[in-house]
Amino acid sequence: MSSVDAQGADQAAGANAESSGPYYQLRVADVIEETHDSKSIVLDVPDELAGRFTYASGQFLSFRVEVDGQRLVRCYSLASAPGIDPAHKVTVKRVVDGRASNWMNDAVSPGDTLEVMPPNGVFVLKQRETPIVLFSGGSGITPCISILKTALATTSRPIKLVYANRDDRSVIFKDELSKLLGEHGDRLEITHRLDDVHGFVDAALVVQEIGSRTDADFYICGPGPFMDVVEAGLASLDIPADQIHIERFESPDTPGAEATAPVDTSGDLVVTVSLDGKETDIPLGEGETILAAARREGLEPPFACEEAYCGCCMARVTEGEVEMKMNDGGIDQRQIDEGWVLTCQAVPKGKVRIEYPD
């Protein structure tokens, strides 16, 4: 990773905007230590890229980094709020044995440049007048604090945050949340739940914290088991689906994220995957996506949501034709016209070759 001055970063970003697919080079303006195991990375977005990097509260950025000779793509939520915070800021919490998260915490310094995709994601503040209830676990606070700050600044909606952590020293944005509570105590309520003090959150507690706010918009982000518990609590109250908004990332750094289901590959479908400078021919099962096949083969392609909206798994089709099951905003029509597809949704219609970005 190279260090450049602000002018050089702007020039690199401007050149990259036309020539290197979905990634842009952004300069790291600052690195903030949030807790013992998490840091925030503040990015300098030059004027010529301001439009491309316009974002809504709750969205995320996708980063391509090189760790031990391997290119990895990971998505990190923006903890900043548009129009409120002066710069784009993502917060990265270490994952045990997580290659990208540990590299981001250990190796990134102010003045470095990082390869970044424009903001994406549909976990955003909805324009309604009903109350807001946010359930966050650990680093799941990052998109939720962005939504919270925007809602406080632009609406009069009452807001409740339930924030679960292992212990007190793991609470990210503790001081910022305390300040927001002091400034907006008339309509903001924050409940901290610490595993080592209060025990784990369960469905009964979720119901208790919701109380009479069954008409609220509910935002949920955190570890899988935490989100499952919150969903169970909401289900017991028969909360309509259009009031529930969930951000769920499945990174290769996440334990248990790998797919293991057996697949019948006795047919004729084969995809050639170009990844990290190597080409691999992979037989596919009927209806199997390219991403699923690549992971089953033991490759490590970039991916995150697997639900067609994050864009992390983008690759370019260079031979053949594929059909995408869906596209929930993960790529735009310009990128589709250039041959990009979401491999988590892409099903080959014959012999196909795809290239992940170098």
Least confident of 1-15, 150-164, 300-314: 1-15
50/44 Cα distance (integer angstroms): 10
179 phi, psi to nearest 5 deg: -65, -45
Higher per-residue pLDDT: 90 or 284? 90
340/290 Cα distance (integer angstroms): 13
Angle between the N-to-C axes of helices 141-154 and 174-183, in degrees from 0 to 180, rounded to the nearest 10: 20
Looking at residue 306, its pLDDT comes to: 76
Task: Fold for 132-247, please state it.
Answer: Rossmann fold (3.40.50)
Q: What is the CA radius of gyration of the chain?
A: 21
Tokens of 20: 């290197």
The CATH superfamily assigned to 6-116 is Translation factors (2.40.30.10)
pLDDT digits (tens, 9 = 90+) for 258-292: 444 566 776 778 999 998 789 999 999 888 999 99
Q: In this structure, are strands 346-348 and 159-165 parallel, antiparallel, or unpaired?
A: unpaired
Looking at residue 309, its pLDDT comes to: 67
Least confident of 53-67, 178-192, 261-275, 343-357: 261-275
Looking at residue 215, its pLDDT comes to: 97
Least confident of 50-54, 188-192, 221-225, 257-261: 257-261
Instruction: Write the secondary structure of 98-142 as one string of H (helix), E (strand) and C (coil).
Output: CHHHHHHHHHCCCCEEEEECCCECCCCCCCCCCCEEEEEEHHHHH
**Highest-confidence segment of 64-68, 122-126, 211-215:** 211-215
Residue 112 has pLDDT above 80, yes or no: yes
Q: What is the DSSP string of 155-172?
A: ----EEEEEEESSGGG-T
Residue 282's nearest CA partner among 48, 52, 244, 273 is 273
**Interval 31-55 mean pLDDT:** 96
Looking at residue 357, its pLDDT comes to: 78
**Interval 97-103 mean pLDDT:** 90
**Interval 221-241 mean pLDDT:** 94
Looking at residue 353, its pLDDT comes to: 96
Model pTM score: 0.76
pLDDT tier, 9 (very low <50, low <70, confident <90, very high otherwise): very low
**Interval 149-157 mean pLDDT:** 98
Asked if residue 92 lies in contact with residue 37, where contact means CB atoms within 8 angstroms, the answer is: no
Least confident of 21-30, 210-219, 250-259, 284-293: 250-259
**Interval 251-261 mean pLDDT:** 45
Least confident of 261-265, 293-297, 308-312: 261-265
Residue 186 has pLDDT above 90, yes or no: yes
Q: In this structure, are strands 159-165 and 188-194 parallel, antiparallel, or unpaired?
A: parallel
16/19 Cα distance (integer angstroms): 5
CB atoms within 10 A of CB 240: 9
Asked if residue 249 lies in contact with residue 230, where contact means CB atoms within 8 angstroms, the answer is: no
Q: Where are the domains of the chain?
A: 6-116, 132-247, 270-355
pLDDT tier, 93 (very low <50, low <70, confident <90, very high otherwise): very high
Per DSSP, helices labelled H in the chain are 6-19, 99-107, 141-154, 174-183, 195-198, 203-210, 224-236, 290-296, 333-337
Q: What is the DSSP string of 55-109?
A: --TT-EEEEEEEETTEEEEEEEEB-S-TTTSSSEEEEEE--TT-HHHHHHHHH--
Architecture, CATH, for domain 270-355: Roll (3.10)
Residue 202 has pLDDT above 70, yes or no: yes
Residue 142's nearest CA partner among 99, 171, 180 is 171
